[in-house]
Amino acid sequence: MSPSVRKGLGASLLALALPAAAEPYVDKVLEEGNQPSLAMTLELPRSSGWPRGWRVEYDLARDSGLQRSTSKGISFSGFLDTPGYGALSLSAAVSRTEQQDAASRQGGDDAAPLWRFDQRAFPLDGGWMANHSVGALVSLQVPMARGFGRIALPSSPLEGVTAEYLLGEQTTLNASLGRPGLYSGLGVNGFNPGRGRLAFAGGQQALPGPASSSSLAFQLFDASGIADSSNPAADQGVRGLWSAWRWEGVAPWADQVAAGGLPVWQREGGLQLQVNAMTSSATRDPAAAGLGHESGKGVWVDAQWRSQWLRQAAGVFQLEPNLRWGTYGAISDIRGIYWRGDVSTRRWQLTTSTEWTDSVSGTSGPSVFGNVSGRYRMDTRNTALAALSVRQAGANGVSAQLGWEHASDLGQTQWLADVLRAGTRRSMRLGIDHSFLLAADSALSLSAALERVHLPERDTRAFSWGVIGSTRPWSRVSVDANLRGSQGGGARQISGTLGVAWAIDPRWSVLAQFTSVRGEDPEAFALISTLTQAATSVTPVISARRFQLTLRYEDRAGSSVAPLGGAPGMGAGGIAGVVYLDADNNGRREASEAGVPNVTMVLDGRYVTRTDAQGRYEFPWVVAGEHRVQLQPDNVPLPWNPVQRDAVAAHVLVRSTTTTDFALQRDR
């Protein structure tokens, strides 16, 4: 080999062995069109394998109330995102409780497991996706079963299995099987199984057309050996069937539907119509429960449409007595019609509704209800609001509300004055709510109200208050408070949670939490319609106090897989929030508004979690970027409905938690 060749070859090898010199920076203009996504740096070194995260907690708790108890338990929650089998989520807890009756001082031991396993977005042939769950759940319903009107089917808590199969938005199939039960718990959720068996099955199919679309749906259930609501010592069997047809297209009074990306019924000239029918029958033990057989039928029609400046909804319904659905009594023994209209501009909003109802069996007389409410934005800082409700029935009633919202450098303030006169009751309530404008890692809202009630036998005064706050006094310590209370009228109520969390390092943390529930929440200050009152769910009242100490370990690992609605990259942030009852329908949580427990939350259609006893939920390990969070309405207490029925966008930043709250509102 010649010296020149050897010299050239050596220079080439040296160029490959040494790193290339950095080129000077040159400012360039990006080309038009789609650009490649930016690569995200990995936050943890263990980046091999499927994305996974887990959390293990050891709890030590002391309860006091009707029973004194000491609990020790361990819980696990985690997820595994697979490329071919969907996302797997597991939450499980087991605890042992030493109980002692406060009166008799007799005690005992009780072990109670609570667990749930979910497999979501499991791909099948032909474009199908499957969702499977096992553990403490709620029965599934097809989307049309919740409807868009005033009547919906309630879901039943059960311990068993559920399955849902989806083909895009065109086809939905579901099934649920298990034994009934009741969610309970203070500080943490629990599930108390009952006797009997529950079985549900349903389907929904879209039928597209050239100028319109329609859908058919059904849901059926069979319950055997469950407790009789009129006599808990006896058993009963209940069966039911619900079916519906929905149509969407050009309204008969319109020539065409206005162009746009909104659903048809939200555009001028569009109409959505749904016809529902249901039947149920219950067979009881004649020796223990009197009547051996009860049955009922019901039918209702809902419609919603949009004119040039008014969005409207109307419906008609006839529901016979003794209607049942699952373990609950459905809305029954009522018939009537309703109408609602909404109009809004950039500065003001006006909503009006009217309803006429009567008893099918004749046990009560007719009722007429009307409501009008409005908001007017005077400027960027001030908004006036007012509402008037009138009800004519056996006990006539009228209520009025005046309010003012003011935004200042200190935050948002709302003043409300309510007057109610219904039958022999007269009441006046003055309240103030204020949300302070604080740093990004702190929040504080205060609520206070003074109420005076006049009854024939006596006059009472009551004072209620509330506080919601969170702060981070040090980088690794956070404090969270949610307290509500009232006193007056011979009763006292207090409920809430005060928690302190200390992050020892990125994986280990200690939490101390005090939870108190004593007495009933004060009666909601509102005059509601007969149909809304018939749909109201009754929740058990728990009076107890709990102090809980938790030691937590959490971690995550795995290479990036883009989840549905997510973005490639390492899980480097979190999403958390609360589901709450928006009593004043303003879309903002006041300190006096309670959270809703046991509501299922889904992230990107894949990851599943559930709200705790205070209505809080959390997805601790989330890919940085855009995500979608959705509330599943299956376990929402009727007649409350989520304001956001579709998935809500949440942008997650590295090493930060994005807060996304969900409000539940009800028609008045």
Residue pLDDT, tens place only, 614-659: 788 888 767 777 888 988 877 777 778 888 877 888 888 776 788 8
**Arithmetic mean of pLDDT, 15-33:** 43
**Arithmetic mean of pLDDT, 343-362:** 92
Measured CA angle at 137 (ends 134, 140), to 5 deg: 100
Please state, in angstroms and as integers, the Cα–Cα distance from residue 404 to each residue in 75, 372, 427, 429, 588, following that order.
Answer: 46, 17, 20, 15, 14
Confidence band for 219, pLDDT divided at 50, 70 and 90 = very high
Report how far residue 430's alpha carbon sits from residue 464's, in angstroms, rounded to the nearest whole number.
10
3-state helix, strand, coil split of the chain in percent (to 5) is 5, 60, 35
Strand order in the sheet with 625-631: 607-610, 600-603, 625-631, 648-652
In this structure, what DSSP letter does residue 22 have?
P
Report how far residue 238's alpha carbon sits from residue 290's, in angstroms, rounded to the nearest whole number.
16
Count H helices and E strands in the chain, helices first.
Answer: 4, 38
Q: For all residues of the chain together, what is the average pLDDT? A: 82
Report how far residue 444's alpha carbon sits from residue 45's, in angstroms, rounded to the nearest whole number.
38
Q: The whole model's pTM is what?
A: 0.81
What is the per-residue pLDDT for 33?
42
Please state, in angstroms and as integers, the Cα–Cα distance from residue 655 to each residue in 415, 430, 570, 574, following that order.
Answer: 37, 42, 11, 8
In this structure, what DSSP letter does residue 409 have?
T
Per-residue model confidence as pLDDT tens digits over 569-628: 454 578 888 998 887 777 778 777 878 888 888 888 888 888 877 788 888 767 777 888
What is the per-residue pLDDT for 264?
85
Report how far residue 114's alpha carbon sits from residue 610's, in angstroms, rounded to the nearest whole number.
12
Domain coordinates in residue numbering, the chain? 560-668
In this structure, what DSSP letter does residue 252 have?
T
**Arithmetic mean of pLDDT, 44-62:** 75
Confidence band for 53, pLDDT divided at 50, 70 and 90 = confident
What is the per-residue pLDDT for 144?
93
For the cut 70, the answer to whether the pLDDT of residue 535 exceeds it is yes
For the cut 80, the answer to whether the pLDDT of residue 557 exceeds it is no
Per-residue model confidence as pLDDT tens digits over 443-488: 899 999 999 988 888 888 999 999 999 898 998 899 989 888 888 8
For the cut 90, the answer to whether the pLDDT of residue 129 exceeds it is yes
Distance from the Cα of residue 420 to its chain's centroid = 30
Burial letters for 566-596: b for 16+ Cβ neighbours within 10 Å, e otherwise?
Answer: bbbbbbbbbbbbbbbbbbbebebbbbbbbbb
Lowest mean pLDDT of 119-128, 186-195, 244-253, name the range. 186-195
Contact present, 471 and 481 (Cβ < 8 Å): no
Cis status of the peptide bond prior to 208, with omega within 30 of 0: no
Torsions phi, psi for 63 (to 5 deg): -110, 145
* Adjacent-strand bridge partners of 548: 61, 513
Residue 105: in which H helix or E strand, if any?
A: none
Range from 32-46, 91-105, 162-176, 225-239 that averages highest in pLDDT: 162-176
For the cut 90, the answer to whether the pLDDT of residue 61 exceeds it is no
Contact present, 240 and 279 (Cβ < 8 Å): yes
End-to-end alpha-carbon separation of the chain, Å? Answer: 96
Contact present, 81 and 51 (Cβ < 8 Å): yes
Q: What distance separates the 2 farthest-apart alpha carbons in the chain?
A: 119
Amino acid at site 504: I
Contact present, 77 and 90 (Cβ < 8 Å): yes
Share of the chain above pLDDT 70, in %: 82
* Adjacent-strand bridge partners of 632: none
Range from 58-72, 117-131, 322-336, 546-560 that averages highest in pLDDT: 117-131
Report how far residue 462's alpha carbon sits from residue 454's, in angstroms, rounded to the nearest whole number.
12
Per-residue model confidence as pLDDT tens digits over 501-530: 999 988 899 999 898 888 766 665 678 888
Enumerate residues 6+ apart whose C-beta is below 8 A from 35.
Answer: none
Report how far residue 551's alpha carbon sits from residue 572's, in angstroms, rounded to the nearest whole number.
22
Tokens for 647, please give them: 């998935």
For the cut 50, the answer to whether the pLDDT of residue 39 exceeds it is no
- One-character DSSP codes across 129-150: EEEEEEEEEE----HHHH-SSS
Which of residues 274 and 49 earns the better pLDDT score?
A: 274
Give the sign of the dihedral formed by CA 265, CA 268, CA 270, CA 276.
positive
Q: Which long-range contacts (CB under 8 A, 24 or more apart) does 356-362 make?
A: 357/529, 357/530, 357/531, 358/334, 359/333, 359/334, 359/335, 360/318, 360/319, 360/320, 360/321, 360/333, 360/334, 360/335, 361/321, 361/333
Torsions phi, psi for 386 (to 5 deg): -155, 155
What is the per-residue pLDDT for 17?
38
The CATH superfamily of 560-668 is Immunoglobulins (2.60.40.10)
- One-character DSSP codes across 483-516: EEEEEETTEEEEEEEEEEEEESSSSEEEEEEEEE
